[in-house]
Amino acid sequence: MSNNNFLLNYACFPSKTKGRYFKEPEDENRSCFQRDRDRIIHSNAFRKLEYKTQVFINYEHDYYRTRLTHSLEVAQIARSIARRLGLNEDITECIALAHDLGHPPFGHAGEDALKKSVQDLNLDNEKYEFDHNVQAIRILTYLEQKHADFDGMNLSWEVIEGVAKHNGPLLGQNAESSTNNQLLLEYNKKYDLKLEEFSSIEAQVASIADDIAYSVHDLDDALRANLVTIEDLLNVPLIGKRFKDVRSGYSELPQSKLIHESLSGTIGTMISDVVSQTERNIEDHKIKSVEDVRSLNKMLVTFSPEVANATKEMKRFNMEKIYRSYKLSRTMNKAKRIIQELFQCF
């Protein structure tokens, strides 16, 4: 079963998949990517995201986001963009749902602690360091132990490739920093992930949806944690203007509704900008096929220069006011000690 009739030529067609590492009969009721999505959602690894930190420790407040809720929000944003661009929503959702599966507890602090622990073992750290993206591939291809005929989830090649490279190539001249991670290089030999090429357009959509989600939603959680105030946000590009517009239109709006309307509107603006700019990119580069997307020497799915700069300013604000705040730094330092002590035990 496939939904090929509604896809544009440069989308990932289920009928053109490179298939699974272990051969399986097709499902007459679901396309290969719909089946992949269902396997991810029903996996143990996906459920474990419920108690993994996004930014704030979730037991401190019912409303703080976790890796699970973040992944669901990324998937929703990604599907919205994919639908408007005529792309395959199912594989886009797969990559969005799976992109954070490899994160340890306590977010990036947990990852930093694991990297430090490997360094302390005097191994070749660059080859064997912990990397959440590589860990996600391990989960998808081996660690998820549920199926009788194979280890891992046995997902379609396009999904594994998309998770591995959703932020761009990992080898060659187009890589931000060429990987020497031994595990990833071994997976590349086994699955031929073409790490020197860019990923599918759907994987790129999942990546930019992640940027949109955490840039805005981390501010929402910071407001709930009283780390920042609405007044602090008024001079932040994009989001500050939205707060001012909502205030001028609704003079007596309760704060909770003001925050929701402002953040939701900011996300909508960012989504529309991505769609418009990506359509221009597709036209400018005469993209006609999946191969054109992969062989292009740059990301095809982007913000406009104006919104890209505004997003950088939002991230800079988040770094200074949230991630490096005393409250969060103290909590994350405790988290690092917990991870390092557990590493020594096992």
Do the Cβ atoms of 13 and 2 come closer than 8 Å?
yes
E strand or H helix that includes residue 211: helix 201-224
Rounded to whole angstroms, what are the CA distances from 289 to 11, 32, 60, 89, 295? 7, 20, 48, 17, 10
E strand or H helix that includes residue 279: helix 255-284
Question: What residue type is assigned to position 32 of the chain?
Answer: C
Do the Cβ atoms of 272 and 242 come closer than 8 Å?
no
Residue 196 dihedral angles phi and psi, to the nearest 5°: -85, -10
Angle (deg, nearest 10), helices 67-85 and 201-224: 130
Contacts of 312 (CB under 8 A, 6+ apart): none
Distance CA 38, CA 202 (A): 18
Mean pLDDT by 10 residues, the chain (346 residues): 71 96 94 98 95 66 82 98 98 97 85 83 64 92 92 96 92 74 84 93 98 93 90 94 94 92 97 98 97 94 98 94 83 83 81
Distance CA 184, CA 181 (A): 5
Write down the pTM of the prediction.
0.92
Q: What is the pLDDT of residue 312?
A: 96
Q: What is the pLDDT of residue 304?
A: 98
Distance CA 94, CA 232 (A): 36
Do the Cβ atoms of 169 and 56 come closer than 8 Å?
no
Question: For 93, left (φ over 0), alpha (ψ -120 to 50), or beta?
Answer: alpha
Question: The tokens 């960012």 sit on which residue?
Answer: 270
